[in-house]
Amino acid sequence: MDTNLLADLLYPNIKTLPADIEARYPARNLPEGAKVTRFAPSPTGFLHIGNLYGAFTDERLAHTSGGVFYLRIEDTDAKRTVPNGIQIIIETLAKLGVEFDEGAVIDGDNGAYGPYRQSERAEIYQTYAKQLIREGKAYPCFCTEEELAAIRERQEAEKLNPGYYGEFAIWRDAPIESIREKLDAGVPFVLRFRSEGDLNNKHKFRDEIKGEIDVTENDIDHVILKSDGIPTYHFAHAVDDHLMGTTHVIRDESWLSTLPFHIQLFKALGFKMPKYCHTAQVLKLDNGNKRKISKRKDPEAALTYYHSQGYPVAAVREYLMTLLNSNFEEWRLANPDAPIESFKFTTKKMSVSGSLFDLDKLNDVSKNVISRLTADEVYDFTFAWAEENDPQFASVLENDREYAVRILSIGRGGKKPRKDIALWSEVKDYMSFFYDMLFTRETAIPESFSAEDVKAVLADFITSYDENADQNEWFANIKAIAEKNGFCPDMKQYKANPEGFKGSVADVSMFLRVAVTGRMNSPDLYEVMQILGKGQVLQRVNGLL
RNA sequence: GGCCCGUUAGUCAAGUGGCCAAGACGUCGCCCUCUCACGGCGAAGGCAGGGGUUCGACUCCCCUACGGGUCACCA
């Protein structure tokens, strides 16, 4: 077979040679040890929690080594392309603090190693493909979908491995006359890689995360160029990562199964292999079984979910970091205020096994993150969230920023800040009783207390409340009211002899709390009253009476 | 079914031949306390099973079981 003739027959318009292309992609001039990574999504506009897991790894690895992190769009499948898909991806990641140094931008490219959209690289792929044909490493296949399906059926019936290989690779050694005949008849073809692999040959391969793994040679003649001349992922991966100088390929471990084929491709093309980091998957518990988190079934798979639920971006980042590097949590405990960038990220601390996504843990991380913010910051984040998701609450907040900030300041700052907000969406409920238009009486005073006693206590409070008293004076007054009405003013004394009193100062405080906030629980009552102001406090107490 | 990866408490995990097997979340209890939250103290709970190798295995090897992934002109 004259492979040069075949190459020209198949791709007559490709005049470039691999050397021409190589000249356009000089080696990157980077310091020793710098890592070049890429995030390479399909432009579906949808980002999965798993995508973020990988993107963080890419970003950290590049930026902690003085390297480059770039965005490449894998739009080789038109069916997966969505209008604005690229823009949505870029914007969603930016919101999560992931920024690219190079690569595709919304309306073009930024960088010298483009084009960064695979759909614009057809000539490049075909140049390498043509070379492969010349070298006898690739050949056209004219099988129809039906023929392929028939082959698969036969293989299933005979319990053979499915795929285009051995005797099933019917076009592998077809004479050039038959090829020319099909070509002349205008029959579309795909280009297949001629695999010399043997299932009996096993090799060791080193993955940066998994360590030493076994690979069995691939014996299937996979498609490298589809009938439209666009490459499959595998071929594009080899060509692009070679030309763009990727040093570390970070991808989901489900790619492990195609690694043998990729090794073959790099070798056949004469490319140096990048290092591979196959990451564990994010799983979810479903009916007692773990499974890969799914974008169809699981709302929490979508990154937009966290945004709309009101999780702070920083919390999602922190949580993912705890999953990504096992020593991150310990580091954070020791450095509560350090920027995340100062953490030493490493593949050594990445887990080899998949982890369940733990909402409890995320919530805890989120509470910690929010507890470290100032009241003003909490206000701004909450307001931004509310504007999008709860306009009514947003207008309440906007109406009096200073008042809202005072409320959010309760128990904030200091060594032991309150940690009762995990989500921006919880803030409304947290502060609603401070606003008349949001206030509702959620609880009544338990009926185990006599109405007369309650009334007497509330009445005494009304006549004695001094809004200029400090906290100690204020509480002394509550104790006095308690004592006057037969409630024990001292908790220790009360616990020693609960039968001797109608109740304790805790109960008296509860009456007031329910009267003023409509709830059994609230932040410090003194501060609550200070913020509400005397008029409002008395109105609430009278309201209950 | 073939191939590949994985398996330390409910969850995330440290651990690299000798430890009473860290820590965090969650759960429960106690303390602090006007309630809640915070904080402090404490408890329950684990090396999937079986063989080796070794003076000694969570750590190394083999087998089994279980879980996951993958077998497209999708990525």
A498 touches strand B (CB under 7 A): no
What class, spelled out in words, does domain A451-544 have in CATH? mainly alpha
Q: Calculate mean pLDDT across residues A37-55.
A: 92
Check whether the bond before A115 is cis (ω within 30° of 0): yes
- pLDDT higher than 80, residue A287: no
Q: CA-to-CA distance for A293 and A114, rounded, in angstroms?
A: 33
The Cα A104–Cα A87 span in angstroms is 10
Cβ-contact A142, A12 below 8 angstroms: no
> Do A3-15+122-279 and A451-544 agree at the fold level?
no
pLDDT digits (tens, 9 = 90+) for A534-544: 999 999 999 98
pLDDT of res. A286: 76
Query: What pTM value is reported for the model?
Result: 0.91
pLDDT at A545: 80
Condensed to tens digits (0 to 9), the pLDDT of residues A99-149 reads 999 999 998 999 999 899 999 999 999 999 999 999 999 999 999 999 999
Distance A65 CA to B17 C1' (A): 35
Straight-line distance from CA A438 to C1' B39, in Å? 32
Q: Where are the domains of chain A?
A: 3-15+122-279, 375-434, 451-544
Q: What is the pLDDT of residues A401-458, one digit of tens each?
A: 999 999 999 999 888 999 999 999 999 999 999 999 999 999 999 988 999 999 999 9
Taking the C-alpha atoms of residue A212 and residue A215, their distance in angstroms, rounded to an integer, is 10
pLDDT of residue A414: 84
Q: Is the CB of A513 under 7 A from strand B?
A: yes
Which of A's residues 313-342 have CB atoms within 7 A of nucleic strand B? Answer: 322-323, 326-327, 329-330, 333
pLDDT bracket for residue A298 (50, 70, 90): confident
Return the half-sphere exposure (C-beta side, CA atoms, 13 A cut-off) of residue A300: 13
Strand partners, A204: A214
What's the CA gap between A378 and A67, in Å, rounded?
35
Nucleotides in chain B with any atom closer than 7 Å to protein CB: 1-8, 10-15, 22-26, 33-39, 67-75
Distance CA A268, CA A235 (A): 11
- Write down which residues 248-267 in A have CB closer than 7 A to strand B: 253-258
A299 touches strand B (CB under 7 A): no
DSSP 8-state symbol, A495? H
Mean pLDDT of chain A: 93
Residues A286, A293: Cα–Cα separation, whole Å: 9
Nearest residue to B66 via alpha carbon and C1': A289
Checking if the pLDDT of A95 tops 90, the result is: no
Position A296 pLDDT exceeds 80 = no
| pLDDT > 90 fraction of chain A, expressed in percent and rounded | 85
Distance (Å, rounded) from C-alpha A313 to C-alpha A369?
10
- Using left for φ > 0, alpha for ψ between -120 and 50, and beta otherwise, residue A198 falls in beta
Beta carbons of A370 and A399 less than 8 angstroms apart: no
Q: Which nucleotide is nearest to A350 (CA to C1')?
A: B13
Name the amino acid, one letter, at A282. V
Range of weakest confidence among A209-213, A243-247, A290-294, A337-341: A290-294
A296 Cβ within 7 A of any nucleic strand B atom: no
More confident residue, A1 or A251: A251
Q: Closest nucleotide to residue A236 (Cα to C1')?
A: B75
Whole-angstrom Cα distance, residue A261 to residue A265? 6
Beta strand pairing call for A108-110 and A138-141:
unpaired
Q: Quick one: pLDDT at residue A60?
A: 95
Find, among A250, A293, A316, A347, the residue nearest to A40 by Cα: A250
- The nt closest to A144 (CA vs C1′) is B73
Each residue of A468-480: pLDDT tens digit?
A: 999 999 999 999 9
Residue A293 has pLDDT above 90, yes or no: no
**Which residue minimizes Cα–C1' distance to B2?**
A161
Res A3: pLDDT: 94
CATH code of the domain occupying A3-15+122-279? 3.40.50.620
Kindly give the pairing relationship between strand A68-71 and strand A36-39: parallel
Q: What is the DSSP string of A510-544?
A: HHHHHHHHSSS--S-HHHHHHHH-HHHHHHHHHHH
Q: Is the pLDDT of residue A289 over 80?
A: no
Any idea which nucleotide's C1' is nearest the CA of A258? B70
Asked whether residue A476, judged by its CB, lies under 7 Å from any atom of the DNA or RNA strand B, the reply is no
| Adjacency order of strands within the sheet including A108-110 | A36-39, A68-71, A102-105, A108-110
Mean pLDDT, residues A365-380 taken together: 96
